[in-house]
Amino acid sequence: MIKLQDISVKYRLIRERPKTFQEHVINYLRGKRIDVEILWALKGITLDVREGEALGIIGHNGAGKSTLLKIISGVMKPSEGVRVVNGKIAPLIELGAGFDHELTGRENIYLNASILGFSRREIEEKYESIIDFSEIRDFINTPLKNYSSGMIARLGFSIATEVDPDILIVDEVLAVGDVQFKKKSKERMLDFRKRGVTILFVSHSMEDVENLCDRVLWLDHGKLKIIDESGRVIKEYQQQK
């Protein structure tokens, strides 16, 4: 379902920017170069994810986990390497991504689901189920700017998982809300796994990763440190934390 070959992502970081346009011109005339640092967010990642596999992605903050998910979902293009993905992706990467906060919850259901590739008729067929799962019916005609982060996460998760994706990508940044909704979300993801949906799951909860995932990929400073059976990788990761 997913094949990455030598994927790298680099950023150019300017250490000190001129404070004014005048300063910029003066520096240019004097031949003073801007001090630029190259940061590799990902470096040489090669990965194959099979159909129906649940792959956990772990690592410290800043290890490149979210960047990797953005590459796989097509939100970002790599600086180097080849990405091949087969199937419909439902990416739950950033809180509120694909939403317009000036629109109501109802309007955002149609907007977000259409971005995921669904027709108006298909959205209407799923509409009630989305609202029921999200548990925000009383606020569905309220603009999203008045929602809490938990309500936005509920709506985003409900839309993405109701449209029956081939590949579900979940970043822990969306793991907000009350205990009951988190439980419902985990149960739905386990149901997807049983149905053969390919899942990529980023989390700092090793218990959740081990319960859901077949294999685990450990990223360390943008590089693939190890990818193997869940129990083995998690044990090594916890020993070195």
Nearest of 5, 51, 83, 57 to residue 167 by alpha carbon: 51
Among 14-23, 165-174, 216-225, which is the least confidently predicted range? 14-23
Contact 140/104 with Cβ under 8 angstroms?
yes
**Beta strand residue intervals within the chain, DSSP E:** 2-14, 36-49, 54-58, 80-85, 89-92, 167-170, 198-202, 215-220, 223-229
Angle, CA of 165, 184 and 136, to the nearest 5°: 90
Q: Where in the chain are the domains?
A: 2-240
2-240 topology per CATH? Rossmann fold (3.40.50)
Among 154-163, 193-202, 216-225, which is the least confidently predicted range? 154-163
Please give the share of the chain, as a percent, with pLDDT higher than 70.
87
Contact partners, residue 92, CB within 8 Å, separation at least 6: 156, 157, 160, 168, 169, 170, 171, 174
The C-alpha atoms of residue 190 and residue 89 are separated, in whole angstroms, by: 17
Residue 180: Cβ-neighbour burial (10 angstroms; 0-12, 13-18, 19+):
exposed
The per-residue pLDDT for 32 is 63
Question: What are the pLDDT digits (tens) for 180-192?
Answer: 888 888 888 889 9
Partnered with residue 92 across adjacent β-strands are 170
Among 5-14, 92-101, 123-132, 191-200, which is the least confidently predicted range? 92-101
pLDDT score of 174 more than 60: no
pLDDT score of 28 more than 90: no
Q: What is the pTM assigned to this prediction?
A: 0.81
The per-residue pLDDT for 100 is 94
Contact partners, residue 32, CB within 8 Å, separation at least 6: none
